Amino acid sequence: MRKLRLVCNRPAEDNHYGWENEALPIGNGKQGAVVFGGVEREHIQFNEKSLWTGGPSPKRPDYNGGNRLEKYPFLKAVQKSLAEGDSAAVETLVHELEGEQEGYGAYQSFGDIDIDFGSDSCEEYQRELDLENALVNIRYRSGGREFDRCYFASFPDKVIAGRYRVSTGGMDCVIRLRSAQGAEAECFAGLENTLCIRGQLADNALRYEALLCVYTNEGSIACEKTNLIIKDAQEICFLLTCGTDYAASYPDYRGEDPHEALAERLRGALRLGWDALCARHVEDYRALYGRLCLELGQAQDTSVPESTEALLEQYCRGEDTAAARYLELLLFQYGRYLSIASSRAEAGALPSNLQGVWNDSNNPAWGSDYHLNINLQMNYWPTTAGNLLECCLPLLDYVESLREPGRITAKAYLGIESTPEKPQNGFSAHTQNTIFGWTCPGWSFYWGWSPAAVPWILQNLWEYYDFTRDTAILRERIYPLMKEEVTLYEQLLIWDARSGRRVSSPSYSPEHGPVSVGNTYEQSLIYQLYADTIEAAAVLGVDADLAVQWRTTLAALKPIHIGTDGQIKEWYEESSLGSMPKSERRHRHISHLLGLYPGDMISSDTREWLEAAKVSLLDRGDENTGWSMGHKINAWARTGDGDYAHRLMRKMISSCILNNLWDSHPPFQIDGNFAYTAGVLELLLQSHLGRITLLPALPSAWPEGSLYGALARGGFTLSFRWEGGRVRYACVLAGRDGECRLELQHAENYSLHDAASGEALPLRREGDVLCFFLAQGRTAELWERRAAEKTF
Ligand code: FUC
């Protein structure tokens, strides 16, 4: 199998354009860096996830997550005006339901490493990101000598490491460490050949520190003021570590000064040395990445160009060649790589933000924050089926951390108060969040109001359970969050006599159209929350009495309505497509279709709704921002139309994917990468309808291939191979005892065996669904009768 790697034949331009389009990212969850690869001057820009302005600060003694208190009466007033149809009053009153702006802050750049080698002569330059080992390698020749560089970000040892080698003779260079926050670098007394930057952010006094240690074999190193000067070394290694005194603890969000821990970490990494560090890194990474392998037939062809830029150029010309398959595959696994690099489970972990962990600006777009009206949810779509469940855990930590500040927001804007008697009476958060418990609505109602953001992010957590079937984590961590949110909605939903529904009011569909009552976005997400929570209670055998009441509410939500053009209505008041004021037919959000994806309300089991969803999708059109196209790939996959989804993939790759394969909104926004990866999986394997469907929407451009190690709901791991669009062989590993319901075309043509004993397994067939029991740890093999050959 051809190695999956991003390849560039020149260094990235040493500016913001190069950072965004050409530099290659590495990361270990908390820390991230991009490598420019300049020959004369190497540049590495780096980040740490908790380096944020905003939040509590000596400057803001009254910081409270942006909430304006006592706004609840205005919610009631808006509800009354909506009921009376007084839109002028609604327009005025909704501004009372906005939050503050001061104290929001932004994710920051940490700093840069510059390495001056003094010579730019070079031939046969190649810079690659090896996805299989999470290494950036650079090679070139100069003056008859061979040079190589290697970089990685280690999760086990929490350092970013780089190594420079030359085949013969020595190298001279000067290494500088620059703070993006104004601190001066200095030689660090506690460790040899180490530069340090440390300081406090002017905005919020957050302490930060980075340590950069260098060692060589042969030659000399001197630390002079802010530089490390290296002479005549054949091999140079650096280790960088950085951190802050941030802690995810409400309300101060401060912990220990990072200094001791960073120095200790660096000493530990130095003791290990390059070879051990690198081996530990590769082992750790491969244990996650290597679980899932996708092959798409022709992608193995040797005619595929090496350079990623050339691949993209061919792709944009519309050539449907082996190179196209290779690029589609590369981008798929890149999404998994980026998940591992930007979201690792550990104490104090934060989830991946709008740019994952990478950011070269102190004023990035949208603060590079946590957006909850689609973006953060999207970041975690590929982690379930993509067999990276551990990478979901920072999201769980984060949602838990929204609870306490979110109760202030619930009280301030919704009038729902948690008290010592009712300590978990409901938390609320809206479109945008920070690491400092910023849960208030945005500072404009028209993008900032989105209480259904919480039900939506809880869907991700329910999915985590549904894929793992880990009832312990459901009981202890996920269900309490879901129950608290249902408790909130039990108090928040009001009866709308006009439509005969329980509704959320006001509701606003991201980020267009009118303020109304019970729009499809809100109602669908609340519906899904109730449906999932009722199921969770049943799984855990708890709250049966409450579930009776929840079922009554569920039945009264009635989220989906079909309009006169046969579309799913986005607003209850909508008649034909485009009939609503302030609505945009080509809007990037497809919020009324969340029941199709990522939800499961609209499916082939509800045909009429599914047909209506296609009308709505067609009306919205294809071309849009990166993440919007990524969302639509998944939505079309859910309709079963693999060719439509594949055409969208083509459009997305051709218009939104940069040379380093980052997705562009524009600017760079990582959610599109994750949506793309989720979309590829959704074309090949679905499991949201109580059965596992193999090849539910296979594009005709992918007639043959194999998927090894993908996950399905129910705790099953699936591997299968297809040819001529038909499954030839499949195997299912059960993570838990349970019934497996496996759907594939012409199910009658397949036989099923226990993989270990070879014995036929008892099987019931319901149309194209094969039903069989599988004990934990057992594997069932499925053969197409005509092709009894095994290739895994
Ligand atoms: C949502 C989108 C925008 C952008 C922002 C970060 O609000 O509507 O397009 O992606 O998030």
Q: Could you tell me the distance, in angstroms and rounded to a whole number, from the CA of residue 355 to the centre of ligand 1? A: 12
Distance CA 354, CA 45 (A): 18
Ligand 1 contact, 354 CB (< 6 A):
yes
Give the pLDDT band of residue 355 (cuts 50, 70, 90).
very high
Of residues 339, 365, 336, 334, the one with CA closest to residue 352: 339
> Which pLDDT score, from 0 to 100, does residue 787 have?
54
Whether 307 has a pLDDT exceeding 60, the answer reads yes
Whether 527 has a pLDDT exceeding 80, the answer reads yes
Of residues 633, 632, 603, the one with CA closest to residue 332: 633
Residue with tokens 């005969």: 500
Both tokens of residue 26? 């590495």
Give the pLDDT band of residue 678 (cuts 50, 70, 90).
very high
Whether 733 has a pLDDT exceeding 90, the answer reads yes
Residue with tokens 């980052």: 662
Whether 786 has a pLDDT exceeding 70, the answer reads no
Cβ atoms 572, 519 nearer than 8 A: yes
Distance CA 668, CA 650 (A): 18
Both tokens of residue 172? 């001279």
Ligand 1 atom showing the smallest separation from residue 625 Cα: 9
Q: What is the mean pLDDT of residues 274-296?
A: 98
> Which pLDDT score, from 0 to 100, does residue 792 have?
47
Residue pLDDT, tens place only, 598-638: 999 999 999 999 999 999 999 999 999 999 999 999 999 99
Instruction: Determine how many CB atoms are found less than 10 A away from the CB of residue 409.
Output: 30
Of residues 619, 564, 566, the one with CA closest to residue 590: 619
Q: What is the mean pLDDT of residues 162-181?
A: 97
Radius of gyration of the chain (CA): 27
Q: Could you tell me the distance, in angstroms and rounded to a whole number, from the CA of residue 512 to the centre of ligand 1? A: 12
> Which pLDDT score, from 0 to 100, does residue 713 have?
98
> Which pLDDT score, from 0 to 100, does residue 226 have?
85
**Helix ranges, 85-188 (H):** 87-93
Query: Ligand 1: which of 353, 354, 366, 624 to mutate, judged by most atoms within 8 Å of the beta carbon?
Result: 366
> Which pLDDT score, from 0 to 100, does residue 300 have?
65
Residue pLDDT, tens place only, 480-502: 999 999 999 999 999 999 999 99
Whether 739 has a pLDDT exceeding 80, the answer reads yes
Distance CA 452, CA 430 (A): 7
Q: What is the mean pLDDT of residues 249-263?
A: 97
Residue pLDDT, tens place only, 7-33: 999 999 999 999 999 999 999 999 999
Distance CA 706, CA 720 (A): 6
Report helix, strand or coil for 490.
Answer: helix
Cβ atoms 783, 750 nearer than 8 A: yes
Whether 446 has a pLDDT exceeding 70, the answer reads yes
Element (H, E) at 336: helix 322-342
Q: What is the residue type of 460?
A: N
Ligand 1 contact, 181 CB (< 6 A):
no
DSSP helix, strand, coil percent of the chain (3-state; round to 5): 35, 25, 40
Ligand 1 contact, 663 CB (< 6 A):
no
> Which pLDDT score, from 0 to 100, does residue 420 have?
98
> Which pLDDT score, from 0 to 100, does residue 225 have?
82
Q: Could you tell me the distance, in angstroms and rounded to a whole number, from the CA of residue 629 to the centre of ligand 1? A: 13
Q: What is the residue type of 625?
A: T
Query: Average model confidence (pLDDT) for the chain?
Result: 96
Give the pLDDT band of residue 319 (cuts 50, 70, 90).
confident
Report helix, strand or coil for 622.
Answer: coil
Of residues 71, 29, 45, the one with CA closest to residue 441: 71
Whether 791 has a pLDDT exceeding 80, the answer reads no
Report helix, strand or coil for 70.
Answer: coil
> Which pLDDT score, from 0 to 100, does residue 321 have?
85
Q: Which residues pair with 241 in a beta bridge?
A: 211
Prediction pTM value: 0.98
Return all residues near 303 (Cβ < 8 A) that are at least 6 apart: 321, 322, 323
Query: Ligand 1: which of 374, 377, 589 to mutate, judged by most atoms within 8 Å of the beta carbon?
Result: 374
Instruction: Determine how many CB atoms are found less than 10 A away from the CB of residue 165.
Output: 17
Whether 354 has a pLDDT exceeding 60, the answer reads yes
Ligand 1 contact, 631 CB (< 6 A):
no
Residue pLDDT, tens place only, 679-703: 999 999 999 999 999 999 999 999 9
Give the pLDDT band of residue 120 (cuts 50, 70, 90).
confident
